[in-house]
Amino acid sequence: MNLIENIDVAVVGAGHAGCEAALACARLGLKTVVFTLSIESIALMPCNPNIGGTSKGHLVRELDALGGEMAKNIDKTFIQSRMLNTSKGPAVHSLRVQADKKNYSYEMRKVLENTDNLKIKQIEVSEIIVEEDDGKKICKGVRTVSGAIYYAKATILATGTYLRSRCIYGEVSEFTGPNGLKCATYLTDSLKEAGIKFYRFKTGTPARIDKRSVDFSKMEAQKGDEPIVPFSFSTDRDSIQKEQIDCYLTYTNEDTHEIIKANIERSPLYSGFIEGTGPRYCPSIEDKVVKFPDKLRHQIFVEPEGLYTNELYLAGMSSSLPEDVQYKMIRTIKGLENADIVRNAYAIEYDCIDARQLMPSLEFKEISGLFAGGQFNGSSGYEEAAVQGFMAGVNAAMKIQEKEAVIIDRSLAYIGVLIDDLVTKESKEPYRMMTSRSEYRLLQRQDNADIRLSEIGYNIGLVPEEAYQKVLKKIELIEKEVQRLENTHIGAKEEVQNLLKANDSTILNNGVTIAELIRRPELDYIKLAEIDPDRPEVDIDTAEQININIKCMGYIKRQTQQVKLFKKLENKKIPKDIDYDEVNSLRIEAAQKLKEVRPISIGQASRISGVSPADITMLMVHLERRK
């Protein structure tokens, strides 16, 4: 007799997406089981040893504001922290921290193991149970390789890169998951039987080398920031100020490139041995050398994998070249002349879906109760996975509780941009988040994620009352202080003129407001404190918000107006039962694309490749006639 259990939510996979999905559901009071091939691989970081980075840091901050776990966990386990792009405007500032990989996984596992309503089960899920009711497919749960059945009201697929995964370097090919872990062999066939369409994608990782074999004196040290800025809005700044571990910068050279060129036919990327499509924005070192022949060198960042290991990660040197070639090319690099490889670089192929099969809630259009998140959806990166897992978990909970799905649109957050892009536009390669993908990035800064999203997290039930009230007070204080500064005039007093001279700023001939002074490039809110005696006491985060709001006020107002126009199209909903063949003068290609994606709004329809502005006009005319 096989085991049969009734639960609320089954989460398949315990990577970054699965962890966030499971925690969201359990914290909302649902009986949740998360299935993993190995408990030791919970929240595993099989590739780069860091969280955040350009645009990815925005995602982590947004996840934190909504009530997710990733930011809190990395604040507990980081070994170095840096704010990127500080020489540019605030829209592209992004926090990036080095993680202690083992500790990150350990701490996340501890959180899962001690969360009410949540159980961890180490076993492979082999099937989804799909039944038909009145012509509609409904997912009823999962079956494991042992034959056990878990009937669930919602199922979330967060399988990462494990579905029929194959690791490859040179002539070596092994059907394993990342880091030599077991792969998931059976689930793909079950999903295909249910009508789900798949892609075969590829990603890769560089070699890990032994720290004892490296000459750091030949490299440029990359130190962390002081003071350290936390990822989570709930983390106390003082509590995370600690000694940081250095990273190092070195470069490939012409000798490195010659070795790669001489052995390029042995790369499975170029021999045709690899079938999957790789990420354009994270190319292998052999790709860089072939596609950018004019570049004489490429940056290589040497990054520690943790406090209690000698393994170093060679960021920028992802490869699938044979083992002997890996040794030769690495040892041409300054500081790595005697490098010993601990783990060979490899490429990994895996099954993932065309995410256009999903609604913006991340539920499958054709299978009720089945949700998906993470690299299974054709994305790349820990951060992209985590936010999708969280939103899939939230919307699975909303469905069970018979509440409206939570859809974050692209004007509000990077999370909205990411999900909208995945479910609307065809991704023929692993999708990577970038700041350039957001049309409203000045409004979607990493520093104001709590202001933008805490209300949504509070309404979901994942942001505590105390934290939400703190954000409301912060918003009120910012608004009052900006208003005060706009209306506070100062004259050409001696102390004012002296401060301006000290900051190489033009002295005053007439009275101005403090806000006008803040808008000068060389001045800011903090620098003007000594000539502003009526200033209230504010923390550093609030001060930053006040400063940005004043300095960027004109641009912010302009983008806010653009968002209003965007919302008009997003609010024009398209009925689920629309027949696109009945829309007069709609081009055949547009009708085909609209049938495929089945957008929920005119706004989403307008972003589908192959649908023109003229097609949108015809569609809007048709909707007006239907009214």
Residue 177: what pLDDT?
Answer: 92
Q: Mapping DSSP to helix (H, G, I), strand (E, B) and coil, where does residue 363 land?
A: strand
pLDDT of residue 544 exceeding 80, the answer is yes
Determine whether 578 is exposed, middle or buried from the number of CB atoms within 10 Å of its CB (0-12, 13-18, 19+): middle
Q: Which residue has the tokens 């007006």?
A: 624
Cis bond leading into 227, ω under 30°? Answer: yes
Query: pLDDT category, 602, cuts 50, 70, 90?
Result: very high
Residue 54: what pLDDT?
Answer: 94
Conformation bin of residue 69: beta by default, left when phi > 0, alpha when psi is -120 to 50: alpha
Mean pLDDT of the chain: 95
Helix (H) or strand (E) holding 420, with range, is helix 414-424
Conformation bin of residue 473: beta by default, left when phi > 0, alpha when psi is -120 to 50: alpha
| Helices 414-424 & 56-66 angle (0-180, nearest 10) | 110
- Alpha carbons 421 and 148: distance in angstroms, whole number: 37
% of the chain exceeding 70 in pLDDT = 100
pLDDT of residue 211 exceeding 80, the answer is yes
Do residues 512 and 489 touch, judged by C-beta distance below 8 A? yes
Q: Where does 431-552 have alpha helices with state H?
A: 449-460, 465-487, 494-502, 514-518, 540-551
Q: Mapping DSSP to helix (H, G, I), strand (E, B) and coil, where does residue 242 land?
A: coil
Report pLDDT digits (tens) over 240-288: 999 999 999 999 999 999 999 999 999 887 777 777 787 777 789 999 9
> At residue 178, what is the residue type?
P
Residues 6+ apart with CB under 8 A from 87: none
> At residue 120, what is the residue type?
I
- Alpha carbons 191 and 480: distance in angstroms, whole number: 54
Residue 1: what pLDDT?
Answer: 75
- Alpha carbons 356 and 377: distance in angstroms, whole number: 9
- Alpha carbons 416 and 233: distance in angstroms, whole number: 20
- Alpha carbons 33 and 10: distance in angstroms, whole number: 5
**CA-CA-CA-CA dihedral for 152, 156, 160, 161, to nearest 10:** 60
Nearest Cα neighbor of 232 from 97, 42, 128 is: 97
Residue 2: what pLDDT?
Answer: 86
Report pLDDT digits (tens) over 437-457: 999 999 999 999 999 999 999
Do residues 207 and 201 touch, judged by C-beta distance below 8 A? no
Query: pLDDT category, 547, cuts 50, 70, 90?
Result: very high
Residue 100: what pLDDT?
Answer: 98
Report pLDDT digits (tens) over 27-79: 999 999 999 999 999 999 999 999 999 999 999 999 999 999 999 999 999 99
Report pLDDT digits (tens) over 288-340: 999 999 999 999 999 999 999 999 999 999 999 999 999 999 999 999 999 99
33 phi, psi to nearest 5 deg: -120, 130
Residue 626: what pLDDT?
Answer: 80
Report pLDDT digits (tens) over 556-600: 999 999 999 899 989 999 998 899 999 988 999 999 999 999 999
pLDDT of residue 233 exceeding 80, the answer is yes
Residue 619: what pLDDT?
Answer: 92
3-state helix, strand, coil in the chain (%, to 5): 40, 20, 40
The rounded radius of gyration (Å) of the Cα atoms in the chain is: 26
Residues 6+ apart with CB under 8 A from 50: 96, 97, 98, 99, 303
pLDDT of residue 554 exceeding 80, the answer is yes
The pTM assigned to this predicted structure is 0.96
pLDDT of residue 7 exceeding 90, the answer is yes
Query: pLDDT category, 555, cuts 50, 70, 90?
Result: very high
Report pLDDT digits (tens) over 406-439: 999 999 999 999 999 999 998 889 999 999 999 9
